[in-house]
């Protein structure tokens, strides 16, 4: 079992498959960034499979595949099939996607062993969606959600990053969408991870404000009294309607004390926190001919350096060493 120096159990691994994305969301990658070199830096699926197997042997129970946009990589279902061989020790394989190409791959992903999908949806208004994402693709994302429902991925989670003056007026509409479609709608505070470096605290819509806006239209009831190691507070609709609301508030209601996550970037760097200013080069260890035992020891040593918390609310806060598209969600 992996535990850090604060005795937190590390059970969730986020693996970024690529830094590339076909969207240009202003809160993430508005102008694009030079992509990583391919063969020299990006982990192969064989390397990812090996590293994942070692992580699972150390107690990782859940793996989430992220990007960039992970479905830009070829044959993601093939990777999922390889990771599925790690079950039942690995209890959950999930994918976070912008949904653009999901309908084309959804059936193959499901049959390969993918358990869950999370799809980004920041607006239900076509014009506002295009303004936020840089792509006129709302219809494709809605098709992706329909495809995930048809294939019975469960639960289907939809992420919306809420930014003041951009889409905070749509919070209730998005909550209604969750009710109408029996999905889990998760609202996320705006975080300082954008390549444009335009994050401003005044643009953060707090988790509390989001809850109050939704609650005024659709009264909510807390599902569980504690988050545990989860990132979101989960609510059901008090009138018994289907669907679920999740509030992820890392800026105003940090959940670092129970954090169970560790991240692996597409180029093989371990990040112990989303906001880390340091990375740990697992790729070089893997490619140096190290044994599984040596890779395991490196992972254990890195986990022991995991930060006690993030420092967004401190005057001394330094932005993460890379932006979200490189880190992975």
Of the listed ranges 32-36, 57-61, 237-241, the one predicted with least confidence = 32-36
Q: For position 47, what pLDDT does the model report?
A: 97
Q: Which domain holds residue 309?
A: 12-327
For 181-229, the pLDDT digits (tens) are 999 999 999 887 665 567 788 899 999 999 999 999 999 999 987 776 7
Would residue 106 count as lying in a domain? yes
Q: Give the chain's largest Cα–Cα span.
A: 59
Of 32 and 247, the structure prediction assigns the larger pLDDT to 247
Residue that wins the pLDDT comparison between 243 and 26: 243
In a domain, 293, yes or no: yes
Q: How far is CA 228 from the centre of its chain?
A: 18
The Cα–Cα gap between 186 and 120 comes to 9
Q: Is pLDDT at 329 greater than 70 in this prediction?
A: no
The answer as to whether 144 is a domain residue is: yes
CATH code: domain of residue 246: 3.20.20.70
Give the pLDDT confidence score for residue 250 in this predicted structure: 85
Q: Looking at the domain assignment, is residue 2 inside a domain?
A: no
Check residue 309 and give its pLDDT. 83
Give the separation between CA 282 and CA 213, rounded to whole angstroms: 44
In a domain, residue 49? The reply is: yes
What pLDDT is recorded for position 30? 59
| Predicted local distance difference test score (pLDDT) of residue 323 | 67
Edge-to-edge strand list for the sheet holding 12-16:
220-222, 233-237, 244-248, 184-189, 156-162, 116-120, 92-97, 62-66, 12-16, 261-264, 269-271, 280-281
- Calculate what percentage of the chain has a pLDDT beyond 90: 74
- Provide the pLDDT for residue 60: 98
What is the reported pLDDT for 289? 96
Residue 1 lies in a domain: no
Eight-class DSSP state of 242 = S
Tally of domains in the chain: 1
Q: Tokens 């609650």 sit at which residue?
A: 215
pLDDT at 320: 67
- pLDDT given for residue 321 in this prediction: 64
Residue 267: pLDDT over 80: yes
> pLDDT by residue (tens digit) across 3-13?
999 999 999 99
Q: Which two tokens stand for residue 175?
A: 């909550």
Closest CA to 218 of 282, 264, 172, 277: 172
The answer to whether position 5 is within a domain reads: no
Residue 132 covered by a domain: yes
Amino acid 196: pLDDT:
59
Mean pLDDT, all residues of the chain = 91
Determine the Cα–Cα distance for residues 104 and 106; give it in Å rounded to an integer: 6
Over range 3-30, report the average pLDDT: 90
Q: Report percent pLDDT > 70 for the chain.
A: 91
Q: Give the C-alpha separation, 327 to 129, whole Å.
A: 23
Q: Read off the pLDDT band of 264 (50, 70, 90).
A: very high
Encode pLDDT of 101-155 as tens digits.
Answer: 999 999 999 999 999 999 999 999 999 999 999 999 999 999 999 999 999 998 8
């Amino acid at each position: 079992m992996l535990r850090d120096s604060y005795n937190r159990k590390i059970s969730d691994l986020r693996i970024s498959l690529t830094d590339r994305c076909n969207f240009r969301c202003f809160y993430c990658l508005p102008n694009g960034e030079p992509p990583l070199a391919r063969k020299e830096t990006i982990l192969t699926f064989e390397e990812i499979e090996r590293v994942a197997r070692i992580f699972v042997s150390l107690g990782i129970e859940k793996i989430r595949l992220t990007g960039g946009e992970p479905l830009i990589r070829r044959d993601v279902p093939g990777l999922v099939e390889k990771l599925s061989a790690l079950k039942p020790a690995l209890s959950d394989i999930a994918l976070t996607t912008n949904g653009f190409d999901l309908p084309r791959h959804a059936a193959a992903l499901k049959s390969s062993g993918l358990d869950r999908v999370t799809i980004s949806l920041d607006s239900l208004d076509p014009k506002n969606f295009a303004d936020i994402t840089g792509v006129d693709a709302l219809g494709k994302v809605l098709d992706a959600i329909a495809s995930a429902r048809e294939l019975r991925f469960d639960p289907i989670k939809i992420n919306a990053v809420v930014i003041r003056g951009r889409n905070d007026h749509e919070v209730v509409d998005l909550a209604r969408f969750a009710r109408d479609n029996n999905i889990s709608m998760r609202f996320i505070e705006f975080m300082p991870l954008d390549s444009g470096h335009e994050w401003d605290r005044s643009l953060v819509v707090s988790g509390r404000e989001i809850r109050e806006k939704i609650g005024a239209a659709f009264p909510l009831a807390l599902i569980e009294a504690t988050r545990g190691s989860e990132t979101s507070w989960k609510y059901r609709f008090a009138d018994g309607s289907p669907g679920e609301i999740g509030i992820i508030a890392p800026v105003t209601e940090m959940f670092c004390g129970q954090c169970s996550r560790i991240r692996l970037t597409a180029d093989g760097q371990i990040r112990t926190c989303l906001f880390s200013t340091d990375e740990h080069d697992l790729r070089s260890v893997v490619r140096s001919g190290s044994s599984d035992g040596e890779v395991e020891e490196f992972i254990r040593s890195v986990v022991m350096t995991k930060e006690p918390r993030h420092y967004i609310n401190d005057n001394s806060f330094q932005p993460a060493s890379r932006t979200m598209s490189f880190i992975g969600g």
